[in-house]
Amino acid sequence: MKSKNNWENQPRKANGQFTFLQCKENPLKEAFSDVAKKTKEKVLMAELEKQNVKFSKEKLKFITRDKSGQIIFLETGSEAAGLEHIILRHEVDFKKAFGVEKDDIPKFLERVISDGTLLSSQLKSKNGRMGCEKIYEFNGKLILLAGIGTNGYLVSAYPIK
């Protein structure tokens, strides 16, 4: 007998114990996900502040931690670094390689950095500044190179062909 609401039929006995009702569609899942993300962002920002890392909360597009434990953040930036630089120099590359639209680049980069497999991480000097060059594999086939300042600021990111 089908239920008329989103809830499964009555609790079932499994291994001699009752299980909780489960919702087929969880209307609160997205709300809890947003709260968890905001909490994570606050914790990571507090960590940056404790380390005296300069960043702008107003210009922040995302902040996350990669699997090596490094906090990485993307700000709006300028033509030289950050989201504006990535869009100006690599928007077409992301579209061709991954089918990612301009407005979706920040969310895509956050997923690659937080969920992707870190294949390599090297400290390099470019224009007199030290930074990390990291290569990530994503979904088993997508590979991305990201230039990351030693403070965690995402300077540039682009697909490797």
The pair of three-digit structure tokens given for residue 150, joined into one six-digit string: 């030693």
CB 87 within 8 A of CB 101: no
pLDDT tens across 94-152, in order?
A: 999 889 999 999 999 999 999 899 999 988 887 777 888 899 988 766 677 778 888 99
Q: What is the pLDDT of residue 34?
A: 66
Longest dimension (CA), the chain: 70
**Which has the closest alpha carbon to 73: 81, 89, 61?**
61
What is this structure's pTM? 0.75
| Average pLDDT score, the chain | 81
Cα–Cα dist 64/73, whole Å: 6
Domain locations along the chain: 56-159
Cα 153 versus chain centre, distance: 13
pLDDT tens across 13-23, in order?
A: 455 554 444 44
Q: What is the pLDDT of residue 18?
A: 47
pLDDT tens across 24-43, in order?
A: 555 555 555 666 777 888 88
9 pLDDT more than 50: no
Nearest 5°: CA angle at 55, between 95 and 117? 45
CB 123 within 8 A of CB 143: no
Q: What is the pLDDT of residue 147?
A: 83
CB 39 within 8 A of CB 46: no
